[in-house]
Structures are given as C-alpha cells and as structure tokens.
Amino acid sequence: MILKVEDIDDMDELTRVELLEKLKKEAKNIHIKDIMNACNFLFEEGKYVQPSYREKFHNAYLKGFILRIKEVKDDKCTIQQLVDMDELKKSLKLLEEQEIDLLRNHPHDPNFSKIYQIISIYTTFVLEEPIHVVGSEFPGGFKVKFENKTYYCPVKDKQKDNPGAVCGFCIAEQDPDVV
C-alpha cells in the first residue's frame, strides 16, 4: 500500500501540494521495469475481456493509469487548497482493503497495484478529476465525459458498491443519459 491511513491519521489538514509530494515520493520508486511488468499484467488480464472491447480496455488502463505515473513525477502543482481528509481516509481504507483482498484471493502484479493506488489518489485529490480519463470507453460504447463543469461516468452507479472498484470515491457523477 502506497500511503496508509495511519500515515495521515494524526494530521488535521493536508494541502493538495503536500499530498502530491507524498505521492511523488512513492512514484519515484516506480521504474521502467515496474511499468513494463504492470503493462504485461494488464495484457494478461485483458484476455478475459470481451474481444470487441479488449483494445479499448488496454488503452483506458495503459493511458489512464500506467503511463500517468510520469505525470505524477513531473507535476508542479502549487495549489494550497486543503484536501478533504475524511474522504482521503475513506479512499485509503478502501485501497487497503482491496490490496488485502488481492493478496489473499487473486493473482496480481504489485507494480500495477501500486500504480493504480497512486493514480487513483492523484486524480481524485490532487487533480480533482475522475479516475478514468475523459474519453475512457466502457462496453456499450459509453464514455467518461466532461460537460458543464461536471464529470460523468456511464458506470458509476453500477460499480459504486463493488469492493474491487474505486468508483466509490471517484468524483465523477453517474451519466444521466446512461441508466
């Protein structure tokens, strides 16, 4: 786990810049070999995705997660806005639970898990964007979109109670056009 609830439990407040610095410290330990291993893991996992959606699945996760690790390392954010500590703690707790479940029950790549955690926290709390980038496509051709200063996801409501998904803390709202 990249950042634990215990790491911030005694903190009353944390700015976006301070959180970014913590994430950068974790991202600094991710090397090209780790990224390659995470990509290989995704390609292996993609075998279980319906063939017509497989390329879109790979693109969403490779571009939306794996390759964004460089963005974290290079981010020069100077925004001193405070992070919602309760939401951050809930998010870290969920990610911790997912990590425990993965270790117990599923084959996984620790590099992918670490990158997934960093990017999920980074996009939600530093960038204040949805975890899946705008344009990420889901089965059925539905995409994450940005309209009228709001991010919309076509699967938010269907996934928000899924213990293996990060939709519970993603800032996107359910796309009202997709029921």
What digits encode the pLDDT tens for the residues 79-126?
Answer: 999 999 999 999 999 999 888 887 777 767 788 888 989 999 999 999
Q: What sign results for the dihedral spanned by CA atoms 8, 93, 40, 105?
A: positive
Which pairs from 169-177 meet CB under 8 Å and 24+ separation? 169/87, 169/90, 169/91, 169/94, 169/120, 169/124, 170/124, 170/130, 170/131, 170/132, 171/124, 171/128, 171/129, 171/130, 172/130, 172/131, 172/132, 172/144, 175/142, 175/145, 176/152, 177/152
- Answer with the residue of higher pLDDT: 74 or 4: 74
Across all residues in the chain, what is the average pLDDT? 89
What digits encode the pLDDT tens for the residues 44-67?
Answer: 888 888 888 888 888 888 877 788
